[in-house]
Homo-oligomer: A and B are copies of this chain.
Amino acid sequence: TFFLHFRGLASLKPPSSLFAPLDTFSERHIGPDDAETSKMLSQLGYESIEAFVADTVPPKVRVSTHSVNNKSIPSFSESQLHARAKELAGLNKPFKSYIGMGYHCAVVPPVILRNVMENPAWYTPYTPYQPEIAQGRLESLVNFQTMVASLTAMDIANASLLDEATAAAEGMVMSSVSAPKKKTFVVDSGVAPQTIAVLHTRAKGFGIRVVIGDASSVLEDPKIRSDICGVLVQYPDVNGNIKDFSPLAQATHTLGALVICATDLLSLTKIKAPGEWGADVVVGNSARFGVPAGYGGPHAAFFAVTDRLKRKMPGRLIGRSRDTQGNPAYRLSLQTREQHIRREKATSNICTSQALLANMAAMYAVYHGPAGLKRIATKVHKFTQVFKAAVESIGYKALNGTFFDTLTLDVSALGSAEALHAQAAAAGINLRRIDDNHVGVSFDESVSPHDLVNLLNVFTTYASAKAFKLSDLSEPEFTVIPPELRRTSEYLPHPVFNKHHSETEMLRYIHHLAGKDLSLVHSMIPLGSCTMKLNSTSSMIPLTWPEFSSVHPFAPYDQVKGYLQMIKELEDDLCRITGFHAASLQPNSGAAGEYTGLCVIRAYHESRGESHRDVCLIPLSAHGTNPASATMAGLKVVSVKVHNDGNLDLEDLRAKAEKYKDNLAAFMITYPSTFGVFEAGVLDACQIIHDNGGQVYLDGANLNAQIGLTNPATCGGDVCHMNLHKTFAIPHGGGGPGVGPICVAEHLAPFLPSHPAMPVRGEQSIEAVSAAPFGSASINLISWAYIKMLGGQGLVDSSKMALLNANYMANRLQGHYNLRYKNENGRVAHELLIDLAEFDKAAGLKVTDFAKRLQDYGFHPPTCSWPIQTCMLIEPTESETLEELDRFCDAMIEIRKEAGDIIYGKQPKDNNLLKNAPHTISAIASSEWNRPYTREQAAYPLPWLRERKFWPTVSRIDDAYGDLNLICDCPSVEELAQH
C-alpha cells in the first residue's frame, strides 16, 4: 500500500497507545513531515537531528532535557486543550461590571467580531512595513487616526499605543523633552490611579518629579510654577466629573508647559473636545469602541497632538503618499522619529503596538458612523442620569455635578461601602471600590434596561427602599452638560464613516481591505527577528468566549480564578523554558519588557545601595528598542563593538565593563544574536559583566531558537523578556497586539512590577508598567494554549525544526547570495543574514529592490536593512513546509538571475524588473508597455505563480513625498469628489 507520513519530530511513528489522542498539536504545528525532515538533514549532511543540533548550538550553553520535556510540560491534544480552557473559563465568574476607570464592557458588532477579530486575514499579517501589500490595514489604521483626531479635535493622531497609562507617560516625557530644563510634571487628582502608578515608574528614569493634586492649585504654587513642564488632566475624570479646563490650559501655556489630556472617545460626541479648549496632547483608550475588556487587554490606546508636536510624537504614524503611478497610497510616515533610527536618543521605545485592536475600534466607528456613536453616547449618558435621579431619591448622594457616564456616590448615610459591595456581589454586580464611604458606578453601552433595574435594586435593597420597576424610570429631559462644555462641532464627516452602515456593506468593506493584504493565509512571512509562525485556531478560539472576554481588569480575584490559574501556569512554563525563577506578564510588548527588566535591575541595585549604577552596555548590533529602553530607564548607553564575523567583540566589552565598573548597571544582549548566530562567547560576556557588578539583560526576541536546547539563565542572563507574539504564537495582528513578559533570576524576583489593583507583589516591587495588572491578559491564553498543546517535547521539536529550516535555506541560498554569518561548523541559528551590498556596487540595486521584487513572487520580504543596512534577515520558523521553503528559495534564486541580467547589462540599470517592482495588475494591464521585459516576466516569472500569486495593490511608494507632504487622515468628501 502506501507510506504514511507523520508530522513533527516527536511523532515519526503512529501514536504509541490506543488511548493516546490523535489530534496532537505538534503534528499540525510543525511544517515539515518526517520525509521532508530527512531530506533536509541529508542535504546538510547529517544523519540525525541531534547531530545537526550539536553542530548548531554551542555545547557550552546546551541544557539537559530535564527542564523542558513532556514530564515538566505535559502535552494536551487540541480537544483536550479545548476542554481544559472550558474548565478554566468556568472558574471565572461572569459579573456585570460598573467599575469603569477606563474599562468598559464593549459591545462588539458581530460582523466585526467574526470578520476582523476571528479572521486570520486580519490577525496574522505583520506590521505594514511593506505598504504595497498592506494597503488594507494601512487604510484602516488611517481610519483610526482620523477617528481619534476628529473626535479629540486634534491635528494628528498616531496608529495606537499600548494602553492609556503608558500613553500618558509618553505625553509626560514629551512635555519634559519640550522643556528640557523643567522637571516637574503636574498630575491632576482626577487621573486614574493606574495611570499615576505608571507615571511614577516612568518619571523615575527621566528624573521627572510628579506632583499630584488639584492641577489649578498646584499651578499657583510659586515654588513649583517655574519648574513645570506639563500638566495631565483626565476629562471626564476618574470620578466622573467634567471640568472646564480652558483656564487651566491657558495658565499652563503661559508657563510654557504642555497640557496632556486623558480622555474617553465616546464622551467626546457629547462634550467639548480637548482640542477645542487647548490640550496639546490627548491620550486615551479606544477599547469601548468594540474591543472586549479581556481582563485588561489587549486594546488600542491613542495619542493625538497639535500640528507643531507631530514630529515628536511616539509610535507609528500612517500617512498618505503616492506610488510611482501617481496613485494615492498609504505608508508608515516619519520613521526617522522611531527608536529604530534614534536609538539611545529616542525617548520612546514603542515598536509593536496595537494595530488589530486599533482596527477593530476604527471599524466600530465606520459601522456606527457619527450619528450612531452619538446615539450610543446619548443612551449611556441618559442611563447615568436616570440612575442618579433614582438613587438620590432613596438617600444616596452623587458627588458629581457635570458628568457623562460615571458617578461617585456617597453612601455613608446608609452604611459602609464594603457592605454595599457585598450586596452588589450577591447580585453578580461589581461597583468601583473607592473608600469606606464612596462607591463608583460607571455605565456603558452593554447596560440593558434590565441591568439598570437590577443595579438600582442593589441600592434599594441596601437602603431598605422599595424596588424599582422599569416603568418607574423616565427619560431625563435635559442633559447635565452645561452649554459651554457641550460638543457643537462636527466630527467624522469623512465618507468612510458615513457609508458602511448596513451589515452587507460593512462585511464587504472589511473583506475588501483584507483582500489587499498579504498575511500568513497566503504564504510564508520570513521576517528575521519576528518569528511569524502558525497561530493556531485552537489557541485563538477561547479568546472570544465571554468568560474570558468580558472580564474587567480590576474585578476581585475571587471572580477570576480561571484567569489566575492560566496566568500561573503560563508563568511557570515560561520560567521552566527560560531557566528563571519568576515572571511578570504585565509588559504589553517586547520593548515594554525590556524597559521593565531594566527598571527591575535598577531597583535591585538601589536595594543594595547602588542606585548610582547607571551605565548600560549594548552591542552596536542591538535592536533599536534596546538603547531606547535603556534611556527610558535612566541608563546611559555605552556601545560595544561587534566583530566582522557577527560575534561580540569581547575585548571591547571587557574594556568598557572595566572602564565603567563602578557605575555598570547592565548589559543587554540578544541571543542568538541579531545576526542569527549562537555565539559561544555569551558565557564569557556575561561573566565579564557580573565580575564588574552589572546585571545581564537578555533580549528574548530570538527565544524560538533556544527552547530546551539552551536558555537565558544558562547563557548567563539575569533577566529576559519574551515576545509572546513571536516565539509563543500570539498572532502579529498586523502590528500588534504583543505581550512582552519578563522572567528573572531569584535575586531579581522581589522587584517585579506591582499594580494598584494587584495587592500581591512584595514591598520592593517597582510600580506598575502597564495600566492593567496582567497586561493584555486575554491573549496570554494563546501562548498558554500553544505551550500546553505542544508540551515539552513539541516545544523542543519546534526549536529544532526552526533551526533546521533556517539552515536548509542558508544551504540553498548560499551559492547565490553572500551569507554573512555562520558558526565554525557552517551553521546559522534560526535565521540567516544575506548581504546584498555587491549588487549595489555592481548595479545600484538596493535591498529594497530585491524586497519589492519578492512581492511580485507572492512573498512578504524578509526583514530588510536590519541589523545591517545592506542585508536581509530571513527567518522561516518551524511551521513552514519544505515545499514552501523551496518556493521561497526558488524565488530568491530567480531574482538573483534577474539581478545578473542587470549587472551584465542585459537589462538597463534604471528600468528593470527589480527597480520597477512591485508590478500591480493595473500596471500590467496598461496598453502602453515600454519596458525592456515582457508583462509575463513581470507578473509570472515562475510557473507556480499562475496558480498562486498575491498581487500588490499599489506600485512602489514615494517615501520622501509622503514625509514632505504629511497627510494622516482619510479622504474628505471634497477630496473623494475630486477623484
Give the B-binding residues of A (Cβ under 8 A).
Answer: 1-2, 4-7, 14-15, 17-19, 21-23, 27-31, 33, 78-79, 107, 109-111, 113-115, 118-121, 370-372, 374-376, 379, 382-383, 386, 445-446, 448-449, 470, 473, 475, 488, 490, 493, 498-499, 501-508, 511-512, 515, 520-523, 534, 536-538, 540-541, 879-881, 883-884, 921-922, 924-927, 934-936, 938-940, 946, 948, 951
Residues A503 and B383 in contact in the complex (CB < 8 Å), given A78-B110, A511-B121, A522-B508: no
Task: Tell me if A114 and B118 are in contact (CB < 8 A).
Answer: yes
Residues of chain B with a CB closer than 8 A to A382's CB: 18
Residues of chain B with a CB closer than 8 A to A19's CB: 449, 470, 473
Known A4-B374, A508-B520, A924-B925; further 20 A-B contacts with Cβ < 8 A: A4-B371, A7-B502, A18-B382, A22-B375, A22-B376, A23-B109, A27-B501, A31-B502, A79-B446, A114-B120, A115-B537, A505-B884, A507-B521, A508-B523, A511-B521, A515-B515, A925-B936, A927-B934, A927-B935, A927-B936
14 A-B residue contacts at CB 8 Å?
Answer: A2-B370, A2-B493, A5-B371, A18-B382, A18-B475, A19-B470, A28-B503, A78-B110, A110-B537, A111-B536, A120-B507, A502-B534, A507-B520, A927-B935
Task: Tell me if A23 and B502 are in contact (CB < 8 A).
Answer: no
Nearest to A29 among chain B residues (CB) is B503
Residues of chain B with a CB closer than 8 A to A499's CB: 883
Residues of chain B with a CB closer than 8 A to A379's CB: 18, 22
In the assembled complex, the Cα of A446 lies from the Cα of B507 at a distance in Å of 34
Residues of chain B with a CB closer than 8 A to A1's CB: 488, 490
In the assembled complex, the Cα of A379 lies from the Cα of B79 at a distance in Å of 16
**Min CB gap A943→B, angstroms:** 9
**Min CB gap A269→B, angstroms:** 11
In the assembled complex, the Cα of A502 lies from the Cα of B878 at a distance in Å of 11
Residues A114 and B946 in contact in the complex (CB < 8 Å), given A502-B7, A925-B935: no
In the assembled complex, the Cα of A437 lies from the Cα of B27 at a distance in Å of 44
Task: Tell me if A114 and B879 are in contact (CB < 8 A).
Answer: no
In the A-B complex, the 10 residue pairs with the smallest Cβ-Cβ separation, listed nearest first, are: A110-B537, A4-B371, A511-B521, A19-B449, A18-B475, A28-B503, A927-B934, A925-B935, A925-B939, A504-B534
In the assembled complex, the Cα of A736 lies from the Cα of B17 at a distance in Å of 40
Residues of chain B with a CB closer than 8 A to A504's CB: 31, 520, 534, 879-881
Residues A536 and B490 in contact in the complex (CB < 8 Å), given A110-B541, A926-B936: no
Residues of chain B with a CB closer than 8 A to A115's CB: 120, 537
**Min CB gap A74→B, angstroms:** 15
Residues of chain B with a CB closer than 8 A to A21's CB: 448
Task: Tell me if B17 and A475 are in contact (CB < 8 A).
Answer: yes
In the assembled complex, the Cα of A940 lies from the Cα of B376 at a distance in Å of 41
**Min CB gap A934→B, angstroms:** 5
Nearest to A113 among chain B residues (CB) is B537
Task: Tell me if B111 and A537 are in contact (CB < 8 A).
Answer: yes
Nearest to A924 among chain B residues (CB) is B925
**Min CB gap A944→B, angstroms:** 10
Residues of chain B with a CB closer than 8 A to A927's CB: 934-936
Nearest to A379 among chain B residues (CB) is B22
Residues of chain B with a CB closer than 8 A to A14's CB: 375
Nearest to A18 among chain B residues (CB) is B475
Task: Tell me if A30 and B120 are in contact (CB < 8 A).
Answer: no
Residues of chain B with a CB closer than 8 A to A374's CB: 4
**Min CB gap A39→B, angstroms:** 15
A107 contact from B23, B119, B507, B515, Cβ within 8 A = B23
Task: Tell me if A921 and B924 are in contact (CB < 8 A).
Answer: yes
Task: Tell me if B490 and A508 are in contact (CB < 8 A).
Answer: no
**Min CB gap A788→B, angstroms:** 15
In the assembled complex, the Cα of A18 lies from the Cα of B387 at a distance in Å of 13
Task: Tell me if B502 and A536 are in contact (CB < 8 A).
Answer: no
A925 contact from B31, B118, B940, Cβ within 8 A = B940
Residues A503 and B111 in contact in the complex (CB < 8 Å), given A475-B17, A935-B927, A948-B512: no
Nearest to A879 among chain B residues (CB) is B504
**Min CB gap A294→B, angstroms:** 18
Residues of chain B with a CB closer than 8 A to A31's CB: 502, 504-505
In the assembled complex, the Cα of A922 lies from the Cα of B940 at a distance in Å of 9
A28 contact from B371, B375, B502, Cβ within 8 A = B502
Residues of chain B with a CB closer than 8 A to A935's CB: 925-927
In the assembled complex, the Cα of A569 lies from the Cα of B507 at a distance in Å of 29
Task: Tell me if A503 and B537 are in contact (CB < 8 A).
Answer: yes
Nearest to A946 among chain B residues (CB) is B922
Residues of chain B with a CB closer than 8 A to A370's CB: 2
Task: Tell me if B114 and A537 are in contact (CB < 8 A).
Answer: yes
In the assembled complex, the Cα of A212 lies from the Cα of B505 at a distance in Å of 55
Task: Tell me if A490 and B2 are in contact (CB < 8 A).
Answer: yes
Residues of chain B with a CB closer than 8 A to A28's CB: 111, 501-503, 506
Nearest to A445 among chain B residues (CB) is B22
Nearest to A519 among chain B residues (CB) is B511
Residues of chain B with a CB closer than 8 A to A488's CB: 1
In the assembled complex, the Cα of A432 lies from the Cα of B280 at a distance in Å of 72
Nearest to A30 among chain B residues (CB) is B502
**Min CB gap A104→B, angstroms:** 15
In the assembled complex, the Cα of A224 lies from the Cα of B182 at a distance in Å of 107
Chain B CB within 10 A, most for which of A15, A118, A507: A507
Residues A501 and B33 in contact in the complex (CB < 8 Å), given A5-B371, A19-B449, A511-B121: yes
Nearest to A979 among chain B residues (CB) is B943
Residues of chain B with a CB closer than 8 A to A940's CB: 922, 925
Residues of chain B with a CB closer than 8 A to A520's CB: 504, 507-508
**Min CB gap A28→B, angstroms:** 4
In the assembled complex, the Cα of A934 lies from the Cα of B503 at a distance in Å of 37
In the assembled complex, the Cα of A514 lies from the Cα of B4 at a distance in Å of 29
Residues of chain B with a CB closer than 8 A to A511's CB: 120-121, 521-522
In the assembled complex, the Cα of A371 lies from the Cα of B14 at a distance in Å of 10
Residues of chain B with a CB closer than 8 A to A109's CB: 23
In the assembled complex, the Cα of A470 lies from the Cα of B18 at a distance in Å of 11
Residues of chain B with a CB closer than 8 A to A926's CB: 935-936
Nearest to A121 among chain B residues (CB) is B511
In the assembled complex, the Cα of A445 lies from the Cα of B21 at a distance in Å of 10
Nearest to A921 among chain B residues (CB) is B921
**Min CB gap A99→B, angstroms:** 21
Task: Tell me if A536 and B110 are in contact (CB < 8 A).
Answer: yes
Nearest to A112 among chain B residues (CB) is B537
Residues of chain B with a CB closer than 8 A to A884's CB: 505
**Min CB gap A494→B, angstroms:** 11
In the assembled complex, the Cα of A26 lies from the Cα of B724 at a distance in Å of 42
Nearest to A546 among chain B residues (CB) is B86
Residues of chain B with a CB closer than 8 A to A29's CB: 502-503
Nearest to A386 among chain B residues (CB) is B18
Chain B CB within 10 A, most for which of A28, A488, A523, A948: A28
Residues of chain B with a CB closer than 8 A to A537's CB: 110-111, 113-115, 503
Nearest to A953 among chain B residues (CB) is B947
Residues of chain B with a CB closer than 8 A to A449's CB: 19
**Min CB gap A763→B, angstroms:** 45
Nearest to A533 among chain B residues (CB) is B504
In the assembled complex, the Cα of A680 lies from the Cα of B551 at a distance in Å of 59
In the assembled complex, the Cα of A115 lies from the Cα of B114 at a distance in Å of 11
Task: Tell me if A503 and B534 are in contact (CB < 8 A).
Answer: yes
In the assembled complex, the Cα of A924 lies from the Cα of B78 at a distance in Å of 45
In the assembled complex, the Cα of A506 lies from the Cα of B31 at a distance in Å of 11
**Min CB gap A359→B, angstroms:** 17
Nearest to A77 among chain B residues (CB) is B448
In the assembled complex, the Cα of A521 lies from the Cα of B507 at a distance in Å of 6
In the assembled complex, the Cα of A475 lies from the Cα of B926 at a distance in Å of 67
In the assembled complex, the Cα of A31 lies from the Cα of B507 at a distance in Å of 12
Chain B CB within 10 A, most for which of A372, A540, A884, A925: A925
**Min CB gap A883→B, angstroms:** 8
Nearest to A920 among chain B residues (CB) is B946
**Min CB gap A549→B, angstroms:** 13
Residues of chain B with a CB closer than 8 A to A448's CB: 21, 79
In the assembled complex, the Cα of A372 lies from the Cα of B15 at a distance in Å of 11
